[in-house]
């Protein structure tokens, strides 16, 4: 395998000794060994040693064991700030300071359409309607009569959650959103308000 | 058959029975090697292998074979029909014929009948082996040529060149053993290893034979015949369904044959070290264990080494292996003459 013609790679020392009009790569170029080192025994030994080293490397993978996460059974835990499927929120009677028991159960969304305005993918559709004393849906003047997110267009950037003045919409942790039909990916207000399945486990602190 | 057979004292019905048993064993071993290879390749790459079909994925080869067998027999319009159908058969035939040569044990007394635990014990063992190894090349060459596809043809041409180059070194590597054992019968070679397995005095020959064996079976790193990256699938590109399964079967059977020959010739066949003489029924298990070690090495090397370039393959075969094998044979010959 050792070809003596190939064993002297062009380098700075070669060009300085012989006056050949050859491009000098300079000193910062790492020389690549393109052929076995001269000497049959040495190159044979080198090939054998390198092969053995490669075999050792692959055998080490057996010792380490697989790193596979068998997906449908085991799921990769998500980080707390993971941006999955959106959630719409209702007021809860938490009893904490600032929580108004009169608001409990009402939707946080007031139908302002700021999320739709912020959405770069233009996938949110909000149609607002006036609250009436008989039909009070949100604590504000208006509420979202229609709130749809087309998840086949959504890019999960999270701008809607940033734009929302009432924290009515947040990004959840669900990422299993496959569907056999595109129309199934248009999530309505009822679907977004419903308690999500939370199939993805949450990553613990420091994990 | 006009070739002289050593141990040919068995009645004809035992011969037929043995032929069936050996084919059945080969048929059972190949799926095992298949699943073991895929599982091991997975482990070598830090992943599980197939683990969905059956317990621990053990039924994966069954699913694969079933899938292949139920597929349509497709044939390109440019192909030569008869040869296209014949070529995989040649591959299987030669592989099984070579498998018959591997001795799984000494002559045993089974229910009062003396039965040798091998297909045939020809007095020209290695010659028989290389004869069928050479015929096996027709399986690849005809398959590649009759497909009428350029990729198949390129793969077949490579296979032909590779087989011819490496068979020489393989034969020369075996010569050292034959000189030392003074016999061409494979059972005779095993008996001659009673004192010391030939892997110790013939270590260079063992390495050469193993490397040439990788090339002979068209396995990585010498799998240029089917180099998927440049030749789609090599000589079997145009094959599908049962015929492709035949090629697949032959490839894995060839791995087993090379493992078996290495076991027989260099690892002492059914012999155990330290003078342990187990009862006769242990012999096949010993041979199978040694064969599985070599097969493991095959898979290990496949998981490790990248494919050689074509010129590297040729220069390695002719410039490194062949001189080394010749030197090895010469040195052994001189030693044998000097010590006798």
Question: Do A38 and A132 belong to one domain?
Answer: no
Using DSSP, state whether B282 is helix, strand or coil.
Answer: helix
Give the per-residue pLDDT at B134: 83
pLDDT at residue A1 in the model: 44
pLDDT at A154: 92
Q: Is residue A80 part of a domain?
A: no
Q: What ipTM does this complex have? A: 0.71
**Residue among B43, B304, B315 whose CB faces A66 most closely:** B43
Which residues on B lie below 8 Å from A62 (Cβ)? 40, 43-44
pLDDT tens for B230-249 read 777 778 888 888 888 888 88
| Residue A199 placed within a domain | no
For residue A143, being part of any structural domain is answered with: yes
Q: Which of B37, B39, B40, B45 to mutate to test the interface with A (most CBs of A within 10 A)?
A: B45
Of B84, B95, B91, B215, the C-alpha closest to B159 is: B215
Q: What is the CA radius of gyration of chain B?
A: 20
Tell me how close the Cα of B301 comes to any Cα of chain A, in angstroms. 7
Residue A204 lies in a domain: no
- pLDDT (average), residues A40-68: 84
CB of B45 within 8 Å of any CB in chain A?
yes
In the predicted model, what is the mean pLDDT of chain B?
83
Distance CA A206, CA A12 (A): 51
A53 shares its domain with A117: no
Interface test mutation site (partner B, options A34, A35, A41, A62, max chain B beta carbons within 10 A): A62
Instruction: Mark yes or no for CB contact A68/B312 under 8 Å.
Output: no
- Residue in chain B nearest A54 by alpha carbon: B304
Instruction: Determine contact: B52 vs chain A, CB below 8 A.
Output: no
Contact call for A1 and B44, based on CB within 8 A: no
pLDDT at B72: 83
Are A90 and A55 part of one and the same domain?
Answer: no
Which is higher by pLDDT, A203 or B210?
A: B210
Could you tell me the CATH number of the domain that includes residue A112? 3.30.70.3270
User: Is A200 within the bounds of a domain?
Assistant: no
Per-residue pLDDT tens digits for B152-202: 888 888 888 888 888 888 888 888 888 888 888 888 888 888 878 888 788
Mean pLDDT lowest among A54-63, B5-14, B143-152, B311-320: B5-14
Same domain, A16 and A101: no
Three-point CA angle A68, A74, A77, nearest 5°: 95
- Tell me how many residue pairs between chain A and chain B have CB atoms under 8 A apart: 42
DSSP letter for B321, please: I
Chain A residues closer than 8 Å to B319 by CB: 1
In A, minimum Cα distance to B316 occurs at A1
A135-162 mean pLDDT: 89
- Which residue in B38, B41, B42, B43 has the most chain A C-beta atoms within 10 A of its own C-beta, making it the best mutation to test that interface? B43
Confidence of residue A153 (pLDDT cuts 50, 70, 90): very high
Mutate to test the interface with A, among B310, B312, B318, B320 (most CBs of A within 10 A): B320
> Are both A99 and A9 inside the same structural domain?
no
Q: Which band of pLDDT confidence, cut at 50, 70 and 90, is reported for residue A95? A: low
The stretch B92-104 carries a mean pLDDT of 86
pTM assigned to the model: 0.75
**Which residues have CB under 8 Å from B20's CB, separation 6+?**
none
Query: Are residues B47 and A66, on separate chains, in Cβ contact within 8 Å?
Result: yes
Residue B216 above 50 pLDDT? yes
- In this structure, the answer to whether residues A31 and A125 fall within a common structural domain is no
For A146, list phi and psi in degrees, rounded to 5. -125, 130
The residues on A that touch B, with CB distances below 8 Å, are 1, 44, 51, 54-55, 57-59, 61-62, 64-68, 70
B48 at A interface, C-beta within 8 A: yes
Q: Report the percent of chain B where pLDDT is more than 70.
A: 95
Token pair of B304 as six digits: 């490790």
pLDDT the model gives residue B1: 37
User: Residue A39 above 80 pLDDT?
Assistant: no
- Predicted local confidence at residue A97, as pLDDT: 62
Whether residue A76 is predicted with pLDDT greater than 60 in this model: the reply is: yes
pLDDT, tens only, A101-124: 677 778 888 889 999 999 999 999
Q: Is A44 a domain residue?
A: yes
Distances in Å between the alpha carbon of B160 and those of A154, A168, B155, B217?
Answer: 56, 71, 9, 12
Cα(B18)–Cα(B118) distance, rounded to whole angstroms?
8
Place A15 in a pLDDT band, splitting at 50, 70 and 90.
very low
In angstroms, the CA A18 to CA A13 distance is: 9
pLDDT in tens, B269-328: 888 877 777 777 778 888 889 999 999 999 999 888 888 888 888 888 888 888 889 999
CA dihedral for B82, B87, B93, B94, sign (positive or negative): positive
| pLDDT at position A98 over 80 | no
Q: How confident is the model at residue A43 (pLDDT cuts 50, 70, 90)?
A: confident
Q: pLDDT band for position A177 (50/70/90)?
A: confident
pLDDT band at A160 (very low <50, low <70, confident <90, very high): very high
Please indicate, yes or no, whether residues A108 and A140 belong to a single structural domain of this protein.
Answer: yes
Would you say residue A36 lies in a domain? yes
* Host domain of residue A153: 86-193
A18 assigned to some structural domain: yes
Window from A172-181, B22-31, B106-115 with minimum mean pLDDT: B106-115
| pLDDT tier at A125, thresholds 50, 70, 90 | very high
- Count of structural domains, chain A: 2
Judged by a CB distance cut-off of 8 A, whether residue B320 touches chain A is yes
Which among B48, B304, B319 has the least Cβ separation from residue A68?
B48
**pLDDT in the model for residue A4:** 47
CA count, 13 A, side-chain hemisphere, A58: 21
Q: Which residues of B touch A65 (CB under 8 A)?
A: 43, 46
**Which whole number is the average pLDDT over B123-149?**
85
């Amino acid at each position: 395998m050792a070809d003596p013609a190939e064993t002297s790679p062009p380098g700075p020392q070669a060009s300085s000794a012989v006056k050949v009009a050859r491009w000098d790569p300079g000193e910062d170029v790492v020389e690549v060994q393109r052929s076995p080192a001269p000497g049959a025994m040495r190159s044979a030994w080198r090939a054998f040693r390198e092969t053995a080293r490669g075999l050792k490397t692959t055998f080490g993978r057996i010792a380490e064991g697989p790193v596979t996460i068998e997906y449908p059974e085991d799921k990769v835990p998500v980080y707390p700030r993971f941006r999955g499927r959106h959630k719409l929120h209702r007021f809860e009677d938490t009893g904490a300071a600032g929580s108004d028991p009169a608001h409990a159960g009402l939707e946080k969304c007031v139908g302002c359409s700021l999320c739709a305005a912020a959405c770069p993918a233009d996938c949110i559709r909000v149609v607002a309607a006036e609250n009436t004393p008989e039909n009070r849906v949100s604590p504000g003047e208006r509420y979202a009569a229609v709130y749809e997110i087309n998840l086949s267009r959504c890019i999960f950037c999270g701008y809607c959650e940033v734009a929302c003045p009432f924290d009515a919409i947040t990004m959840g942790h669900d990422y299993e959103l496959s569907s056999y039909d595109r129309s199934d990916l248009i999530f309505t207000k009822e679907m977004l308000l419903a308690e999500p399945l939370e199939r993805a486990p949450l990553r613990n602190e420091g994990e | 058959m006009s070739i002289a057979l050593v141990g040919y004292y068995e009645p004809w019905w035992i011969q037929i029975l043995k032929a069936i048993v050996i084919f059945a064993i080969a048929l059972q071993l190949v799926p095992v090697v298949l699943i073991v290879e895929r599982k091991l390749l997975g482990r070598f790459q830090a992943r599980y292998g197939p683990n969905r079909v059956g317990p621990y994925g053990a039924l994966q080869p069954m699913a694969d074979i079933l899938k292949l067998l139920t597929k349509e027999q497709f044939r390109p319009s440019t192909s030569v029909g008869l040869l296209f159908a014949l070529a995989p058969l040649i591959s299987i035939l030669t592989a099984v014929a070579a498998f018959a040569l591997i001795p799984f044990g000494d002559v045993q007394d089974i229910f009062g009948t003396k039965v040798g635990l091998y297909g045939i014990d020809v007095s020209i063992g290695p010659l028989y082996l290389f004869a069928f190894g050479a015929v096996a090349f027709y399986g690849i060459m005809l398959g590649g040529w009759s497909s009428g596809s350029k990729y198949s043809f390129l793969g077949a041409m490579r296979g032909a060149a590779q087989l011819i180059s490496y068979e020489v070194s393989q034969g020369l590597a075996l010569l050292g053993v034959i000189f030392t054992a003074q016999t061409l019968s494979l059972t005779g070679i095993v008996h001659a290893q009673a004192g010391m397995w030939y892997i110790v005095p013939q270590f260079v020959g063992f390495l050469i034979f193993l490397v040439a064996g990788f090339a002979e079976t068209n396995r990585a790193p010498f799998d240029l015949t089917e180099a998927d990256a440049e030749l789609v699938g090599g000589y079997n590109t145009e094959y599908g369904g049962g015929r492709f399964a035949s090629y697949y079967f032959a490839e894995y059977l060839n791995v087993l044959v090379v493992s078996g020959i290495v076991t027989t010739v260099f690892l002492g066949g059914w012999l155990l070290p330290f003078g342990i003489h187990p009862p006769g029924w242990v012999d096949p298990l010993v041979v199978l264990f040694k064969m599985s070690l070599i097969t493991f090495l095959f898979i290990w090397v496949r998981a490790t080494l990248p494919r050689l370039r074509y010129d590297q393959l040729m220069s390695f075969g002719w410039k490194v292996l062949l001189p080394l094998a010749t030197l090895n044979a010469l040195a052994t010959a001189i030693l044998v003459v000097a010590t006798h």
